[in-house]
Structure 1
């Protein structure tokens, strides 16, 4: 297993796999015995993910009938590829959640009957002894058809439904244990938020840098000392609009698309799972739903997410008390890492998705007094309880 010092990305380190698309059909054929008909790359921060649709012919004894909707080929980043036990742990949590009845991608075995394999992947289309290469873990999961929540209207009842699903996920994760997560450290875990200060090089504006430092200082002073009062458990770690597959709710639909209500069909991408504090997952969800919200006051999103979550699972007084700072911390984390990643690789404009709405949001939330935000959220939660 990788040493602790190897599990945190360092400043200046490029960890995203370099994989020419030309190699994807070969990878699928040689590892999984399937023939690619089409291949589409998904946007991502640190990994490479591809939606591959294949023919109905299979040379894989573990795949009798290839999935008509295709698969997702996941090539893990350089940091996670150093840690085979971590990849095993991620696989086990997927299987655990699936057994609990929650809709998540299913692992697909390769020709050797394995759920993952470490592969030598060349960085250019020409493969020779002089071509640069690296080793990355590769796995295949089923593609879940449907639309992500990205770009969909954020209505109060929709984020209530998302909060409720998150509560169900946390209930399903209770009792799960894999030894890798006992010591695994991950930069995107809010417990490592102090380390994010090292990546501020990408934030050029002085006022924004000052705000980021203030949020980091406040989190360190007000949240870290209360860890012993927070509920510890496995979390998804990245409940954002691109990882939530949704469907429209017919009985709650409006004639206008902008007022449409959605519910969760599935949750995808478990590459950020980590042993942490469940309240952080709630804060992450609130952060991303607030960023996307355009149809009502962004400060009220947290109330609707919390109402849904609390309908199936409780939060203690301390968890409610630190929620504002944790939400701001996640927005700050995303803004800092987005700016840093773009600073390192200007071609990766995907990492700036949070920036346009994230900067105004974090300022709005940070400037709103905690008692006012708590009061707004409490009022919304009580309104749901009265229904």
Structure 2
């Protein structure tokens, strides 16, 4: 297994695992000593994630009692499966922030006492000598019960609470270091925006393709030269509405469900963590919350997220200055890679989830002068203060 820290996807390459559902019960039992009762695949861009409910007792000495809420079986994509040190580094990071009191999934050990294993998985239900296969890294984590923010209304105070939780997460990440991340290159890190040019083949509309090129050019010109002025640190890298488990804030019994403010109960999915720039994490969060938003003006989302984040941590003038470019770059990144993934695998319709609202949003945001967006967000921040 390679220990190369470069896990950048190449154009023309499909990296999502092929895993017939028929193989999963044997995989769960042979690796973890658990008998699968039910299994539901969860949405994912590049990996395979399954919510697994088990029955009976555990035959695993490292799992004393089975959990009624079940587990998440994670089968990593082809790129990340090449490097077990990546998973070791992610596990170390998760243990670090768990000790700081952040609520996250717990990593389970397999029958051999290991937190992961490289498994030969056949790409067909009927295994013959000629059946294609690949080796993928397999992990098991506890399933965090609850509702994701995807299922909740996008309200100003909820966005504030999410921004605040991101600030707390960044505090918890302070002091963490793993040598793997020092030279780690990952396609979804905003530092790789320039590489999006290689994946534009998935966008058929020439006007949309031209817009993506314009945003890539702007990021390369306006943000990249300022890296030395941005605060470096470990980031989550994918704080979207499906990776945030929420709960209603207390004392809202008389408030209608669609008007209830929620707070963050847990953060999940740390597969996109990287040593990068903290402002990127804030921009990524704003990008996804803006795409999700139906209930209020999408242009205001950034102000509420920023207000919450700034209640915990500060951003310097350069970080505030590049925020809009970073938000738009992340939306562009999601649109380009989603279109490319669908172009390579039309069955992977999950990757199109961003497109329906993402294209109108990016077109609208990009046309608004940065000064107008900054003024709008600053006014919201001042109102909280």
User: How high is the TM-score relative to the length of structure 2?
Assistant: 0.98
1:98 alignment partner in structure 2: 98
1:142 alignment partner in structure 2: 142
Q: Is the 8 A contact 1:235 1:275 kept in 2?
A: yes
1:58 alignment partner in structure 2: 58
| SS of alignment partner, residue 150 of structure 2 | coil
1:128 positional shift = 3.3
1:23 alignment partner in structure 2: 23
- Say if 1:218 and 1:252 are closer, same or farther in 2 by CA, change over 3 A: farther
1:252 positional shift = 4.7
How do 1:105-116 residues align onto structure 2 when only pairs under 5 Å count? 105-116=105-116
Q: Distance in 1 between matches of 2:127 and 2:111?
A: 23
Alpha-carbon RMSD across the aligned residues, in angstroms, is 1.1
- Residue 11 (structure 2) pairs with residue 35 (structure 1): no
- Residue 1 (structure 2) pairs with residue 3 (structure 1): no
Deviation string 1:280-301 (CA, Å, 9 cap, x unpaired) is 0000000000011111111110
- Say if 1:85 and 1:218 are closer, same or farther in 2 by CA, change over 3 A: same
1:172 positional shift = 0.3
Query: Which ranges in structure 2 are unaligned for 5 or more consecutive residues?
Result: none
1:84 alignment partner in structure 2: 84
Q: Is the 8 A contact 1:199 1:336 kept in 2?
A: yes
How do 1:1-387 residues align onto structure 2 when only pairs under 5 Å count? 1-4=2-5, 7-252=7-252, 255-385=255-385
Deviation string 1:214-254 (CA, Å, 9 cap, x unpaired) is 00000000000000000001101000011111111133566
Q: Distance in 2 between matches of 1:16 and 1:167?
A: 32
Q: Distance in 2 between matches of 1:155 and 1:242?
A: 16
Q: Is the 8 A contact 1:81 1:135 kept in 2?
A: yes
1:193 positional shift = 0.5
| SS of alignment partner, residue 107 of structure 1 | coil
| SS of alignment partner, residue 131 of structure 1 | coil
Q: Is the 8 A contact 1:75 1:136 kept in 2?
A: yes
1:363 positional shift = 1.1
Q: Distance in 2 between matches of 1:266 and 1:302?
A: 21
Query: Which ranges in structure 1 are unaligned for 5 or more consecutive residues?
Result: none
Q: Is the 8 A contact 1:155 1:295 kept in 2?
A: yes
1:255 positional shift = 3.3
Which is worse superposed, 248-257 or 203-212? Answer: 248-257
Q: Distance in 1 between matches of 2:255 and 2:204?
A: 44
Q: Distance in 2 between matches of 1:244 and 1:169?
A: 12
Q: Distance in 2 between matches of 1:366 and 1:163?
A: 23
Q: Distance in 1 between matches of 2:237 and 2:313?
A: 18
Deviation string 1:321-378 (CA, Å, 9 cap, x unpaired) is 0000000000000001111111111111111111111011111111111111111111
Q: Distance in 1 between matches of 2:128 and 2:228?
A: 54
Q: Distance in 1 between matches of 2:251 and 2:363?
A: 37
| SS of alignment partner, residue 124 of structure 1 | coil
| SS of alignment partner, residue 57 of structure 2 | strand
